[in-house]
Structure 1
């Protein structure tokens, strides 16, 4: 006789059944970055100490942390900067590469900070060596390929007024 599937009528058995299913599901790494500008329209880039090349401000989400909370937390930790996010620009599915499994990378729009904030901005922890506002053209030169494609998607999303779904930085839908 085949065992029956628990039902919500037996909460303890039901939760154990759901937990078993949850344990078998894939886990995704989640990254969250922000596109942030100064009053002249330049974009903020950061230079991480733990990997080569420049990056957009943000980072990896912690377990069960929403992407928008992750990017706010990273901005405070790394730059001492509090911003209001103005919307989602990009969701990018990043294929497995090197030792890494796939991930979901979110990019939010943080708008424009005032000149005083921009002038005072500097790294606040050991994960960053520099922070700089650069033109979009300069950002394209400094950013690694995968991040540059996501950055270009974010600029396109701003122009189109709608978020974009990317697959390894290329528009899909």
Structure 2
């Protein structure tokens, strides 16, 4: 029996403020790069929950209290290019940050060049379309997680 093929896994978090604006981050890849949610790749021997906590600490300098009960959405994404793998994306609903919380944000400047608050419509226009599609329902209360599949016609 051959080993099961691996699927890269990413873990991101929806962080909001009391006005229900979404915290988004911009990668240090030039102005044309789309904005993202805080988070990143789950490393070997790391859970998605540990990964999202680590990534937020590395990217923003914030120690978030995110738990397994904060699961918001899971998505399977079909590979779009030859040589790439299908991917699993896990999204958690994070905390509501106060102004004093955001005063403590310290960007990881070798990966990010900016962060900001954005209303839902504005965030959806600024985020990568695959990420924007995961933002459904109330942002501050996870409720029931959503499962999605993103297939691409003619993909590998």
Give structure 1 stretches of 5+ with no counterpart.
1-20
Task: After TM superposition, give the deviation of residue 167 of structure 1 in Å.
Answer: 0.5
- Out of 56, 73, 78, the residue aligned to residue 90 of structure 1 is 73
Q: Is the CA contact (8 Å cut-off) linking 1:89 and 1:158 kept in structure 2?
A: no
**Residue-pair matches, total:** 146
Tell me, in whole angstroms, the C-alpha distance in 2 between the residues paired with 1:134 and 1:122.
18
Instruction: Give RMSD over aligned pairs.
Output: 2.1
Larger Rg: 1
Q: How does 1:118-137 map to 2 (within 5 A)?
A: 118-137=102-121
Aligned position for 1:147:
131
Consecutive aligned runs of 4 or more in structure 1 exceeding 2 Å deviation: 119-122, 155-160
Aligned position for 2:145:
163
Which one is further off, 92-101 or 139-148?
Answer: 92-101
> Where does the alignment leave 5 or more consecutive residues of structure 2 unmatched?
152-156
Q: Would the aligned equivalents of 1:77 and 1:125 in 2 still touch at CA under 8 Å? A: no
Q: Mapping of 1:2-151 within 5 angstroms?
A: 21=1, 24-50=3-29, 52-86=33-67, 87-98=70-81, 99-151=83-135
Pick the structure with more helix per residue: 1
Higher relative contact order (CA 8 A, sep 6+): 2
